[in-house]
Amino acid sequence: MADALKVGIAGLGTVGASLVRIITTRANELAVTCGRAIEVSAVSARDRSRDRGVDLSGATWFDSPEEMAASADIDVFVELVGGAEGAADRSVRAALTRGLHVVTANKALLARHGVELATIAEEKGVLLNFEAAVAGGIPVIKALRESLTGNKVARIYGIMNGTCNYILTRMEKEGLSFADCLKEAQRLGYAEADPTFDIEGNDTAHKLAILTTLAFGTQIAADEIYLEGIGNISIEDIEAAADLGYRIKLLGVAQRTESGIEQRVHPTMVPRDTVIAQVDGVTNAVAIESDILGELLMVGPGAGGDATASAVLGDIADIAKSRPGAQRVPVLGTPAAALAPYQRARMRSHEGGYFIRLTVADRTGVFASVATRMAENNISLESIVQRASPNGAAGGSKTIILVTHATTEESVRKAVAGIKAEDYLVGEPQVIRIERPKAF
C-alpha cells in the first residue's frame, strides 16, 4: 500500500471538526477504498484549548493557515477558513505555489480568485478541488467537471441557499411573515446574525458564478449577475402564487442566449407540480439541461457540518486515489488559459412569463388603464385576478394580479414604469419571474 496521504486542515469549526471525526472513525474503510491511509497531520485554528470533540493529539498545530501552508509536512492543504481575501486567499496561494494539493469549501474565494488559483494549480500540476463550495453534499462540481464531459449545457439552475429556502417554506406552510421566519432561522442557526449575504442573494450568486464557468467554459464573472433577494416577498405573494398553482423559490439561473451568457439570481415562481417546487427547508437542488443527457436534477443537503465534510472528504479521497504524473482534470473543467472571456447577455432581452402584483386605488378606470399599459407593450396576459384590500372598505385599495405569457424583461419594465407614472398606484409593484422547467 502507498504511503499515507498527509492532510493539513485550516479551520476547525463545525465542518473541520466533522471532517476530522470522519477521517478518524472511518480510517480503515478509507485506506481500503483509496489504496492508502489518510491522516490528519496538521491543523490550524484560532483557539487551541477549545474542546471540539475529536482527538487532535497526533496533529501538529500551527498558529496560522499561512504558516501551515508554507511549512507543514503535508500533501494536501484543506482550507475551511472562509472569506474571499485575507488568510484564506494567502494560504491557498502559498499551498498551491509550494506544490501541495488543495481542497476548499470557499465559494467566495473561488468566485473572486478562482481563475488565478486554477492557473497556479495547473502550472504546478496539482489538484484544486472544491466540491463542498457549491450545494454542500450534492456532487454537482464532479458532475459538471467530469461526468458530463462531451455534453453541451444549455441551462443550469437551482435552489442553492438553504436559509432562503427555509424562510420561503415556513412563510408558505405556516403563514408567517418574512421577519418572523428570518428570526426563527437565526434562532435555529440556519441564518447568520447578519443574514444580508444570504437573503440578498449574494451567496447564491457566488455559487452560480462557479457553476457557470464549469458549464459554459467562460471566465468566472461573479460581478456580472443580475441579483434580487427575497426581502420584499410578502405573505400576499406566497398566497397568490399558491392560488395560481405556483410556489416561490430563490433560484440561481445561468443559460446560453444569442447575446451571451445570462446569469441571474431572483425569487422565482415554479409550477407546484414540478419536483423542484417540492424542495423544502434547508435542502438544495441543482438542475442541469444538456444536449446528450437531457435533464438531470440533483437534490440533497446544501449545508451543515456532516454534509459539507462529506464533500470535502470526497475531494481528499480523489487526491488519495490519484497518482503522480497522471493527467489532471482541469480545475474549472476547461484549462484556465483556455477559458473564454465572459460575455454578459442583455438582461432586458430575457424572455419568459411574469407575475405582477399591483396595489391600486379602488376606483373606476384603473383596471382598464392597467390593461392598456400591458397592451401598449405587446404583453399577452394568461390570467388576471382582482382582490379586495384586506380591510375591504369601499374607496380603499384593491390588488390586481397579472400573470403574463412569455414576454421580455424590457417590455415588463416599460409597462410597470407606465403604471407607476399613474396616480392610482399604492406602494411599489411586485414583479416575479416565472420559470417552467422542462422536466422538473
CA-to-CA distance for 161 and 163, rounded, in angstroms?
6
Mapped onto helix, strand or coil, the DSSP state of residue 299 is strand
Cβ burial of 281 (10 Å; 0-12, 13-18, 19+) is middle
Using left for φ > 0, alpha for ψ between -120 and 50, and beta otherwise, residue 371 falls in alpha
CA-to-CA distance for 266 and 229, rounded, in angstroms?
6
The catalytic site residues sit at 207
CA-to-CA distance for 136 and 300, rounded, in angstroms?
8
CA-to-CA distance for 192 and 169, rounded, in angstroms?
18
CA-to-CA distance for 397 and 147, rounded, in angstroms?
55
Distance separating the N- and C-terminal Cα atoms of the chain? 45
Closest CA to 129 of 147, 155, 105, 153: 105
Closest CA to 65 of 38, 37, 98: 98
Mapped onto helix, strand or coil, the DSSP state of residue 210 is helix
Which helix (H) or strand (E) element contains residue 8? strand 5-10
Q: Do 148 and 293 form a contact (C-beta atoms < 8 A)? A: yes
Q: Exposure pattern of 312-350 as b/e (b: 16+ CB <10 Å)?
A: bbbbbbbbbebeeeeebebbbbbebeebeebebbebeeb
